[in-house]
Amino acid sequence: MTRLWRWLPDGALVPLLAVVASVVVLITGALTLGQAGDLLGRTWSVLVFLLAAAVLAELAGKAGVFEVAAVWAARHGGGRTWRLWLLVVAIAVAATITLSLDTTAVLLTPVVLALARRTGAPASVGALLALTCAWLANTASLLLPVSNLTNLLALGVLEGGPAGGDVPAFVALTWRPAVVAIVATVVVLAVLHRKALRTGYSPPQPAEVSDPVLLKVAAAVVVLVLPALAIGLEPWAVAGTAALVLAAVFAVRKPAAMHPGMVPLPMAISVLGLFLVVEAFNQHGLTSVLASVAGDGEGFVELLRLAATSAAAANAVDNLPAYLALQPLLSPDDPLRTAAVLVGVNAGPLITPWGSLAVLLWARACRAENVPVQWGRFALQGLVLVPVVLVAAVGALVL
C-alpha cells in the first residue's frame, strides 16, 4: 500500500478512495443505479457550484483582491493589533459569505500570515489571525446558500415549505443565527487572545499591484455576486457566470495564470463519492439511528439537541457527510430544524482536524507558511467556542 501511495499524484488518494467506495456501493447493490441517478439529479447544481466557486476564488486571489484587502487593513489599523484584527475579521466574514468558507481557509489565511511577518507583529498575532480565518471560515458560513455546500443542499430541502427555497427566503431564515454566530466567535477570540490584541506592529507599504485593471475587474465581479444572489438567481449560475467572466479577462490580460488545476475535479469527485456512500448508509438504516439521537420538536432545548448532534457528527466524520446523513430527517415544513442542523454542521466542526474540509485546507495553508498547527490547542479552544456558538445561534434562531 505504501508503494501505491508513492505512485499517486499529490492529493489523489482521497478521490481514488471516493471512486473505489462508490464502485463498491453500486456493485454490491447497497445503492441502486436508480437511487444514484436520483441523488445526482438532486446534487448536480452543488457540484457545479463547487467547481465554479473554486475557480472564481483562485482567480480573484491571483488578481490580488485578498492581498490588497489585507494590506489595506494593516495600513488602516494604525499599528494597533486590535484594529488590524477587527478589519481582518470583516474581510474573513465577507470572503466566507460571498465566496464560501474554503476561500477564507485557502486564500486568505496565507495572505494574513505573510502580512503578520511583513509588519513585524509578534508570533501571537500571527496565531490569532490564523485562528480567526479557521473559525470564521466555519462560523460565518450560515448566511447565504453559497457560503457552504451544506447550505446549498439545505436549499433543496426548504423548497415547497413555508420558508421557501430561494435565496431571500434562506437569508430570512438564517440571518439571526448567522449574525450571532459571528459575534460569538469574535467575542471568544477576543477573550482567549486578549494579550495579543494589546500588541502593536509596523504598518506596511501599499500593496504592489501588477495589473490594476485586472484587480478592479476581479473586485467588481466578486462584489456583484451578492446582488445577483439577492434577486433570486441560482447560486450555481451566479458562480459559473462570474468564473467565466473573470477567466475570460485573465485569458486576455494574464493567460500564463490560467491552468487546468484551477478546476478542482479531485475535490468534486471526492464530494460525489461522499454523496453516494452516505446515501447508501441512509438507505440501510442510518436515518433511523440518527432520528433516535437527534429527537424532534422546535423548542430551544429540542433544536439545541439537534444542533449538538449535528456538530458531534461533523467532528466525527466531517461536516458534509454529517449533513447528508441528517438530511433525511428534515422536512420543508420544519425550516427551524433545517437551520439548527446547519448551525451544527457549519459552526460546530471546530474541534477535530477533520471536522470540515476547510479546517484541513487551512492547516495545509498554515504549514505552507511555516506556521505549525497545534491540534491539541486547536481542540481545546474549539471546545470553548463550539458550545458558546451553538447555544447563542440556536437561541437566536428560536427568538
Residue 19 inside a domain? The answer is no
Residue 8 inside a domain? The answer is no
User: What pLDDT, on a 0 to 100 scale, did the predictor assign at position 6?
Assistant: 45
Separation between Cα atoms, residue 254 and residue 380, nearest integer Å: 44
> Which ranges of 254-326 does DSSP label H, i.e. alpha helix?
265-281, 287-294, 300-317, 319-326
Residue 30 inside a domain? The answer is no
**Would the CA dihedral through 168, 172, 174, 175 be positive or negative?**
positive
User: What pLDDT, on a 0 to 100 scale, did the predictor assign at position 221?
Assistant: 92
Residue 32 inside a domain? The answer is no
Helix (H, G, I), strand (E, B) or coil at 278: helix
Residue 31 inside a domain? The answer is no
User: What pLDDT, on a 0 to 100 scale, did the predictor assign at position 13?
Assistant: 65
Domain, as residue range, for 160? 41-199+207-398
Q: Is 399 exposed, middle or buried (0-12, 13-18, 19+ CB in 10 A)?
A: exposed
The tally of domains found in the chain comes to: 1
Instruction: Please give the average pLDDT of every successive group of 10 residues along the chain, which has 399 residues.
Output: 42 72 86 87 86 89 90 91 95 93 90 90 92 97 93 87 80 96 98 95 86 92 86 86 94 89 83 84 81 88 96 90 90 93 96 90 87 93 98 95
Separation between Cα atoms, residue 161 and residue 250, nearest integer Å: 42
Residue 115 inside a domain? The answer is yes
Residue 36 inside a domain? The answer is no
User: What pLDDT, on a 0 to 100 scale, did the predictor assign at position 14?
Assistant: 65
What is the maximal distance between C-alpha atoms in the chain? 63
Residue 16 inside a domain? The answer is no
User: What pLDDT, on a 0 to 100 scale, did the predictor assign at position 4?
Assistant: 41
Separation between Cα atoms, residue 80 and residue 77, nearest integer Å: 6
User: What pLDDT, on a 0 to 100 scale, did the predictor assign at position 107?
Assistant: 87
Separation between Cα atoms, residue 211 and residue 130, nearest integer Å: 28
